[in-house]
Amino acid sequence: MSVNQQAHTGPPYGQPQPGYQGYQQPAYGGQPLPGVPQSQYGAYNGPMPGYQQPVPPQGSLRAPPTSGAPPPASGASVPSSHLAYSQFGHGDVQNGIPASAAPMQRPPASQPFLPGSAPTPVSQTSTFQQYGPPPASVQQLSNHMAGMTIGSTTASAPPPAGLGYGPPTSIPPVSGSFSATGSGLYTPYTASQGPPPTSVSQGLPLAQPPFPGQPISTQRLPTQVPGFAPPPSSTGIGPSSYPPTTGAPRPPTMPGPPLPGQTVAGPPTSQPNHVSSPPPPSAMSGPHPGPPMSGLHGPPPPTHPPQPGYQMQQNGSFGQVRGPQPNYGGAYPGTPNYGSQPGQPPPPKRLDPDSIPSPIQVIEDDRSNRGSEPFVTGVRGQVPPLVTTNFLVKDQGNASPRYIRCTSYNIPCTSDMAKQSQVPLAAVIKPLATLPPEETLPYLVDHGESGPVRCNRCKAYMCPFMQFIEGGRRFQCCFCSCVTEVPPHYFQHLDHTGKRVDFYDRPELSLGSYEFLATVDYCKNNKFPSPPAFIFMIDVSYNAVKSGLVRLICEELKSLLDYLPREGNMEESAIRVGFVTYNKVLHFYNVKSSLAQPQMMVVSDVADMFVPLLDGFLVNVNESRTVIASLLDQIPEMFADTRETETVFAPVIQAGLEALKAAECAGKLFIFHTSLPIAEAPGKLKNRDDKKLINTDKEKTLFQPQTNFYNNLAKDCVAQGCCVDLFLFPNQYLDVATLGVVTYQTGGSIYKYAYFQLEIDQDRFLNDLRRDVQKEVGFDAVMRVRTSTGIRATDFFGAFYMSNTTDVEMAGLDCDKTITVEFKHDDKLSEDSGALLQCALLYTSCAGQRRLRIHNLSLNCCTQLADLYRNCETDTLINYLAKYAYRGVLGSPVKTVRDALINQCAQILACYRKNCASPSSAGQLILPECMKLLPVYLNCVLKSDVLQPGLEVTTDDRAYIRQLVTSMDVAETNVFFYPRLLPLTKADVDSDSLPAAIRNSEERLSKGDMYLLENGLNIFVWVGVNVQQGLIQNLFGVSSFSQISNASSTLPVLENPFSKKVRSIVDMLQVQRSRYMKLIIVKQEDKLEMLFKHFLVEDKSLSGGASYVDFLCHMHKEIRQLLS
């Protein structure tokens, strides 16, 4: 087979990039293996040398790839310096949980493919088991493998000289590729069995499949083979690892390319074996990471049946092998390589993307393992299923994960241990979260005039963890241990276990979440609140009128006002409404029900804002329906010929605030605003946008408000319970960082529609407006988080205001907003009693009822770091780290923030490596099982627009995203940082389910397919240039690729199964998100494709962000520096 197989100009879509095939390599361990030709190891998970391999059908399943190294045989002797390499750290199969431990943590269903082994179809219990004693020597292991036939050759045949050019049958297995002294047998993990920690060995294929035609042995090989030990002088990954972009392990320096069959003698120049340096960059073709070398491979034909001997595997699984690629050449004999001398950083090399942890695989495994059973909250410290898994929650004493998620459910007993691990202890709390219809809403408990029962000292509310003593006459607080008398009306006898006999009748004794009706003592000025009001404030300047926005808002409000939020059993909403329009001056409207026509009052003195009318400004919708309808008809006509382009902004908020003050109620302002407020008025702003500040120390000023005026205004709004929701329609810089201050500090929401065009953005805006007006919201809210002795809440993130160190104040809190709380130790915790959190939210409901919503959660405490690392939740950890970083940019240069993030994560992983993983080669990256996605997700945060903006990202976009993420929940940050990518052409039109997601990388896309990508703000439909004409006709109603229009923001409604299926997928995704996502149609090789590629987060980004593979190597380097 010739090396110059087929010229290849660009990376083929649709299959994993092959990297540089079969570069000649040093033997593992630093010296050549006697009797083994160097060229025989194929690329990292590349195709087997000398095979023409077909590709499986492009479905959601893909055949396991071949890995470069053939399976071992007994022929070659192995120097004792070779410690065999394995996917897992030595002895880590238990992953810290004793074999008897009960509920195990998310076992992935992926089985490592290893030489000569296949997943055995044996059902196993969920405890961890190790099989068989380890073989005593290398020889035993080799004997173990001897006699295994591959192709038609017997295992004892001598290796051919020119591997990679010979016929397929001439590839014997060689035991040099894995052998170990004292390694145990390989265990294929079944789905139910606990996984070992994930380890990624640099420069080696992570797992090797059986060859086609090889009898799949059912023996269990060792679960643990330590990584190849590097020679003492080597520095492990060192400089050679960053940033690898493509290719296979690279050979040491040599004078010239050896001929086929020639072995290279002599030890390599101090190269760490796990990172054999990569080939020279000059050989790269194609602009982005991971192109195949030109001249080496041809693009694979789209479909072939998978070869026998390969088990189909879910796309992108970790440590699993990838579908064999057809038409890929055999091993390349090697080239001279430049720059691998010590002291000079060698050019990049590439890990195989399929051998590193896959988010898709982890999500799929969790769904299959934990999606079917309800999550019962009765047990302390249980890690819930992932946010991407659909599951039911049964509240039996701890709050549902829909309300609270923690970064770890087993927290260190001491602050020293917490500092050592660097794992932040935080909870992401969503107090008013919406529950699915199958789950019951929190019960409302009314204790009458006496109000809720509380601890005398710390004021914690009665909850399931309080301990009743003295026959039920007193209770001991679970938070501060103080003993409190039980009020006579609340007394109840205890049963033989010490539980009250009315335990199950009282939500506050048996459930994790419930509500109390608050007494007058919990109300402002000791009087019950009035129902809240909504005030709609519409910009009627030239831009707003000309774009059709004013007319659109007025038309929509006519029907929308019938859907104001109301209490469950009420006939109509208790919320009153008012209307203001503004440009340089403000117009108030009297819509009193007794009037025949609305009256307009103008306030032009914006420097001293007041409300010109009290009676008739805030009205009941039903009573004033005709007057309101008349007003909404007149507004677009009144301002149709306006020439006023300037607007004010702060006086608009002041007007709303004054109106609510006068009515003595809380409420929400809906402000529809189009431009930078440059008119002479309080809060006037200037255009300070400056791209030159990016990457300088002054960049942080772009995120800070221009003036303190808005901070003070926000404080006044919070005091009154005036929440501000802002709908922005900018055509240029608007200064979101300043305009958003009041919204952000009052607990409101910002929506932004840049370059608003009626036909494109109308649906999105109207859907957002409808949901925003209708959603559940609490007003005048105060939240406090209490903790048991030993930890306390020290830091808070979200959209709120704080006037002291404990109370989180929000003028409004809706069902989508989260508050993130960080905890620190102030004393020792005990393993026996664990740790408790109680979140208490005091708020006014939309009917004007004062309520307390209580959420309780109990966590385990540990003295062993392994227990901490086994009970972490990576999605929540990323949510916290993103918020921490996004707040950091307000006061520090962005680079400092990025470096701090990388450093903290390296410390988390280094601490695990040092204290929890079994000793293994430094060349291996070992990740805790439940944190194996930390590097990929962290890289997504680092590459996000706030921390690493591309050229096309505006300053306003960055400020907008920064504020958005700060109050996102865990499910939203998960899809925002690692978008969901679905192959539409694989969708089953007859089922309701979504097609299986694929990984976010360009190399996963095929030119003949269509894909949908969603990140919570946008939905992209990407169409490949070679998509069948019939599919284009079915989805877009046009006959060819070139006729597809990007201008449309909707898919045409066509009567065919494919169109219906794709539209139902889009609708399904829209319902899951708190904002209506903008639909963008992207044609391959079109200018919009750059925007789409920005969201393929596993690839290198144009703004300089590392690819996942590069970043993993960089993290490994950081970890090794910390450990050394």
Average pLDDT over residues 974-998: 95
Helix axes 970-977, 934-942, angle to 10 degrees: 80
Lowest-pLDDT choice from 63-77, 210-224, 453-467, 501-515: 210-224
- The pLDDT confidence band at residue 345, using thresholds 50, 70 and 90, is low
Composition of the chain by helix, strand, coil, percent to 5: 25, 15, 60
pLDDT at 1093 over 60: yes
Contacts of 206 (CB under 8 A, 6+ apart): 45, 67, 87, 112, 200, 318, 319, 352, 355, 356
Helix (H, G, I), strand (E, B) or coil at 126: coil
Higher pLDDT, 724 or 297: 724
Q: What is the DSSP string of 890-915?
A: TTS-HHHHHHHHHHHHHHHHHHHHHH
What is the C-alpha to C-alpha distance for residues 353 and 288, in angstroms, rounded to an integer? 14
Q: Is the pLDDT of residue 608 over 90?
A: yes
Bridge pairing between strands 1018-1023 and 61-62:
unpaired
For residue 675, the cross-strand partners are none
Work out the pLDDT band at 570, boundaries 50, 70, 90.
Answer: confident
Contact 54, 305 (CB under 8 A): yes
Return all residues near 533 (Cβ < 8 A) that are at least 6 apart.
575, 576, 577, 578, 618, 659, 660, 663, 665, 666, 667, 668
pLDDT tens digits for range 205-242 = 343 333 444 433 333 333 333 333 333 333 333 333 34
The confidence band for 349, taking pLDDT boundaries of 50, 70 and 90, is low
**pLDDT value for 100:** 39
At 348 the pLDDT is 52
Single out the residue of 929, 938, 927, 930 nearest to residue 874, CA to CA: 930
Query: Confidence band (pLDDT; 50, 70, 90) for 535?
Result: very high
**Distance set, CA 364 to CA 103, 568, 777 (Å):** 19, 37, 34
User: Across 246-260, 268-282, 818-832, which has the greatest mean pLDDT?
Assistant: 818-832
The whole-number average pLDDT for the span 623-647 is 97
| Amino acid letter, residue 7 | A
Q: For residues 1029, 1034, 1036 and 1040, what is the CA-based torsion angle, rounded to 10 degrees? A: 20
The 10s digit of each residue's pLDDT in 58-71 is: 444 444 444 444 44
- Rounded distance between C-alpha atoms, residue 286 and residue 709, angstroms: 52
Window from 229-238, 543-552, 1016-1025 with minimum mean pLDDT: 229-238
Residue listed under structure tokens 């492009």: 58
pLDDT of 685 above 80: yes
Using 50, 70 and 90 to split pLDDT, how confident is the model at 1033? Answer: very high
Task: Pick from 101-105, 329-333, 899-903 the range whose average pLDDT is largest.
Answer: 899-903
Residue with tokens 């025989």: 40
Sequence-separated (6 or more) residues with CB below 8 Å from residue 368: 109, 191
Asked whether the beta carbons of 293 and 1 are under 8 A apart, the reply is: no
Nearest Cα to 905, choosing from 1092, 1057, 1112?
1112
Give, as one character, the DSSP assignment of residue 461: B
Largest CA distance in the chain: 102
Q: Which pLDDT score, from 0 to 100, does residue 941 have?
A: 98
Compute the distance between CA of residue 630 and CA of residue 614 in angstroms, rounded to an integer: 20
Mean per-residue pLDDT for 443-453? 95
Alpha-carbon distance of 356 to 353, in angstroms, equals 6
Does position 45 have pLDDT exceeding 70, yes or no?
no
Distance between CA atoms of residues 715 and 721, nearest Å: 10
Q: Output the pLDDT for position 964.
A: 97
CA distance 570 to 562: 13
Query: What is the average pLDDT value for the chain, to the nearest integer?
Result: 78
pLDDT the model gives residue 199: 58
The span from the first CA to the last CA of the chain, in angstroms, equals 46
Question: How many angstroms separate the CA atoms of 617 and 573, rounded?
Answer: 17
pLDDT of residue 614: 84
Res 112 pLDDT > 60? no
Predicted pLDDT of residue 952:
85
Whole-number pLDDT of residue 764: 97
User: Which one has a higher pLDDT value, 207 or 730?
Assistant: 730
Q: Is the pLDDT of residue 251 over 90?
A: no
Please list the residues that pair with 599 across neighbouring strands: 590
Rounded distance, CA 700 to CA 410, Å? 36
Distance between CA atoms of residues 121 and 108, nearest Å: 16
What percent of the chain has pLDDT above 90? 66
Q: CB–CB of 823/794 below 8 Å?
A: yes
Cβ burial, residue 489 (10 Å; 0-12/13-18/19+): exposed
Closest CA to 651 of 522, 748, 537: 537
Q: How far apart are CA 446 and CA 444, in angstroms?
A: 7
Whole-angstrom CA distances from 1080 to 168, 214, 592, 1018, 1077 are 47, 48, 44, 7, 9
Of 585-594, 691-700, 705-714, least confident by mean pLDDT is 691-700
User: What is the per-residue DSSP string for 609-634?
Assistant: ---S-STTTSEETTTTHHHHHHHHHH
Dist CA 576 CA 574 (whole Å): 6
The residue type of 199 is S
Measured in whole angstroms, the distance separating CA 235 from the mean position of its chain's CA atoms is: 33
Q: Pick left, alpha or beta for residue 623 (phi over 0 → left; psi -120 to 50 → alpha; otherwise beta).
A: alpha
**Residue range 74-81: average pLDDT?**
40
Phi then psi dihedrals of residue 465, to 5 deg: -95, 0
460-484 average pLDDT score:
96
Contacts of 908 (CB under 8 A, 6+ apart): 421, 422, 423, 931, 934
pLDDT at 326: 40
Interhelix angle 650-663/709-720, nearest 10 degrees: 20
Report the 3 state secondary structure along 66-133: CCCCCCCCCCCCCCCCCCCCCCCCCCHHHCCCCCCCCCCCCCCCCCCCECCECCCCCCCCCCCCCCCC
Q: What is the pLDDT of residues 200-213, one digit of tens each?
A: 544 433 433 334 44
Closest CA to 867 of 417, 448, 506: 417
Query: What is the percent of the chain with per-residue pLDDT over 70, rounded to a whole number?
Result: 69
d(CA 748, CA 729): 17
Asked whether the CA dihedral 114, 120, 124, 126 is positive or negative, the reply is positive
The pLDDT of residue 321 is: 39
Q: Find the range with the poorest average confidence among 133-137, 458-462, 707-711, 933-937.
A: 133-137
Model confidence band, residue 1097 (pLDDT cutoffs 50, 70, 90): very high
**pLDDT-based confidence at 6, cuts 50/70/90?**
very low
The pLDDT value given to residue 661: 96
Please give the single-letter amino acid code of residue 230: P
**Does the structure show a pLDDT above 60 at 882?**
yes
- What separation in angstroms does the CA of 474 have from each of 312, 458, 483, 494, 512? 62, 16, 7, 11, 21
Least confident of 73-87, 190-204, 845-859: 73-87
Task: Calculate mean pLDDT across residues 896-916.
Answer: 96
CA angle 842, 843, 847 (to 5 degrees): 145
> What local confidence, expressed as pLDDT, does residue 850 receive?
96
Alpha helices in 853-944 (DSSP H): 865-870, 874-888, 894-915, 934-942
Q: 181: pLDDT confidence band, cut at 50, 70 and 90?
A: very low
Residue 315 CA, distance from chain mean position: 19
Give pLDDT tens digits for 516-533: 999 999 999 999 999 999
CA 186 to chain centroid, in Å, comes to 33
Residue 377 pLDDT > 50: yes
What number of other Cβ atoms are within 10 A of residue 890's Cβ?
A: 14
Residue 772 has pLDDT above 50, yes or no: yes
Count of CB atoms within 10 A of residue 173's CB?
29
Average of pLDDT values for 1039-1052? 93
Tell me which residue of 200, 318, 249 sits closest to 923, measured CA to CA: 200
pLDDT at residue 142, as a whole number: 36
The token pair that represents 396 in the structure block: 């039996």
The answer, yes or no, to whether residue 1064 has pLDDT greater than 80, is yes
Does position 495 have pLDDT exceeding 80, yes or no?
yes
Residue 200: predicted pLDDT = 55
Cα dihedral sign for 320, 323, 326, 327? negative
Name the pLDDT band for 353 (thresholds 50, 70, 90): confident
Q: What is the phi/psi pair of residue 1040, to 5°?
A: -145, 165
Q: What is the pLDDT of residue 749?
A: 98
